[in-house]
Amino acid sequence: MKIFLTFIAIVVLTGCSSFNPLPISEPPAKDSSDVRTVPDYQKGGLLPATTPQEVKNNIKIYADWYMERSLELRGYEYKTSDTGLVGGIIGVLGGIAKSPEAALAGGLLASGASMTSQRYQFLVQAQNYEKASDALYCMYRNVYPAPSVTTSGITKINHVIDELRIKLRKSQANITIANPDLAELEASIKQQLESKSNQITVKSGLIAKSATQAQVDAADEKLLIDELVKCAAGF
């Protein structure tokens, strides 16, 4: 029974669709206040900004969301690591207690957790979302002090945001889902049966300016857009 339950745990770990690199995780369909900047229901992501305040809101929402996803993926890595540790302990205790069943169950659990981490590359996915979030936070620090942005500037900023989203999607698409190495798992099981033992990581460009006028002039806005592009280039 222990072995069967361990096998089920491995199947669950290695078959969870939320671990997949694609589709990209975007902000939810509606927020609690149902503001205008809700995502497009078909493609995901926030509707393009049309005002300076919406620009700031969108950048902050994306930055927070991607960081949350990064932390979630790191959490998966920690959990699989902990599962492997528990499996190793069970295997060791089973060996000490001369219980082949416990030793095998521990080995299966440890091997299954390791396979899950290797298959979905949680840390690589987490780093992709973290880099996108860092670039957006850099943009937010630059755009937040600006009292206003022209229509042309808003369009350019929307473009920069979309370019970041595209780059994140491409980075995630480049992750190859590894096939489980069943031969390695088999070898681990055999080892357990034979020996009753177990093996057990922006640069930010800040605009230091005090904008007191009602609207930034064209030169200042160009500097602002240039800084946001630099932020995005950090990803």
Predicted TM-score (pTM) of this structure: 0.64
Q: Does residue 87 register a pLDDT over 90?
A: no
Write the pLDDT tens digit of every residue in 97-135: 555 555 555 555 555 556 676 778 899 999 999 999 999
Structure tokens at 199: 């093996």
- Residue 89 makes CB contacts below 8 A (sequence gap 6+) with 106, 200
**H runs (alpha helix) in 40-181:** 52-96, 100-120, 122-143, 151-173
Write the pLDDT tens digit of every residue in 72-81: 999 888 787 6
Instruction: Report the distance separating Cα 192 and Cα 92, nearest Å.
Output: 10
With left for phi above 0 and alpha for psi between -120 and 50, is residue 215 left, alpha or beta? beta
